[in-house]
Amino acid sequence: MEQLRLQEELRKTRQELLLLYEIGNLIRTTLLLDEVIYLFLSALTSHEGLGYNRAVLFLVDETGTRLEGKMAIGPTHPEASPIVWKMIEENKITLEGLLDVYHKADKKIDVELNKIVKQVKLPIEKVYGILPTSVIHDKPYLIAKEDADHELSDIHLRSLAMEQFAVVPLRGKDHVIGVLLVDNVSTRKNITEADLRSLVMLANHAGLAVENAKTFSEVVMTSQQDYLTKLWNHGHFQKLLDDSIAEAKAIKKPVSVLVFDVDNFKEYNDSYGHQAGDRALEEISSIAKSMMRRNDSLARYGGEEFAAVLPITTKNEALKLADRLCVTIQNETAKSDRTLRPITVSIGVASYPEDAEDKEKLIYCADGALYEAKRSGKNQMKPYKKPFLTTIQPKAKTA
How far is Cα 30 from Cα 265, in angstroms, rounded to an integer? Answer: 44
Contact (Cβ atoms closer than 8 angstroms) between residue 349 and residue 315 = yes
E strand or H helix at 282: helix 274-291
Distant-in-sequence, close-in-space partners of 374: CB < 8 Å, separation ≥ 6: 261, 263, 346
How far is Cα 74 from Cα 183, in angstroms, rounded to an integer? Answer: 10
**What's the pLDDT score for residue 392?**
46
The CATH H-level (homologous superfamily) assignment of domain 234-383 is Reverse transcriptase/Diguanylate cyclase domain (3.30.70.270)
**What's the pLDDT score for residue 19?**
65
How far is Cα 293 from Cα 320, in angstroms, rounded to an integer? Answer: 13
Cβ-based neighbour number of residue 122 at 10 Å? 20
Distant-in-sequence, close-in-space partners of 23: CB < 8 Å, separation ≥ 6: 40, 43, 49, 95, 202, 205
The pLDDT tens digits along the chain (399 residues) read: 777 767 666 666 666 666 666 766 767 678 788 988 998 898 888 777 788 999 999 999 989 999 999 999 988 877 665 555 566 566 655 655 666 767 776 778 888 999 999 999 999 999 999 999 999 999 999 999 999 988 998 999 999 989 999 999 999 988 999 999 999 998 999 999 989 998 998 898 889 889 988 888 888 878 899 999 999 999 999 999 999 999 999 999 999 999 999 999 999 999 999 999 999 999 999 999 999 988 899 999 999 999 999 999 999 999 999 999 999 999 999 999 999 999 999 999 999 999 999 999 999 999 999 999 999 999 999 999 987 554 445 555 444
Contact (Cβ atoms closer than 8 angstroms) between residue 104 and residue 93 = no
% helix, strand, coil for the chain, step of 5: 50, 20, 30
The CATH H-level (homologous superfamily) assignment of domain 2-218 is GAF domain (3.30.450.40)
Domain boundaries of the chain, sorted by first residue: 2-218, 234-383
**How long, in residues, is the chain?**
399
Nearest Cα residue to 179 out of 170, 166, 188, 191: 170
Contact (Cβ atoms closer than 8 angstroms) between residue 256 and residue 350 = yes
- CA atoms 353, 359, 361, 362: torsion sign: positive
- Cα end-to-end distance, the chain, whole Å: 123
Contact (Cβ atoms closer than 8 angstroms) between residue 165 and residue 196 = no
What does R_g of the chain's alpha carbons equal in angstroms?
Answer: 28
Contact (Cβ atoms closer than 8 angstroms) between residue 291 and residue 328 = yes
**What's the pLDDT score for residue 398?**
45
How far is Cα 384 from Cα 315, in angstroms, rounded to an integer? Answer: 9
CA 101 to mean position of chain CA atoms: 19
DSSP at 295: T
Do the two domains 2-218 and 234-383 of this chain adopt the same fold?
no
pTM: 0.63
Contact (Cβ atoms closer than 8 angstroms) between residue 24 and residue 12 = no
State the Cα torsion 141-142-148-153 to the nearest 10°: 10
**What's the pLDDT score for residue 399?**
41
**What's the pLDDT score for residue 294?**
82
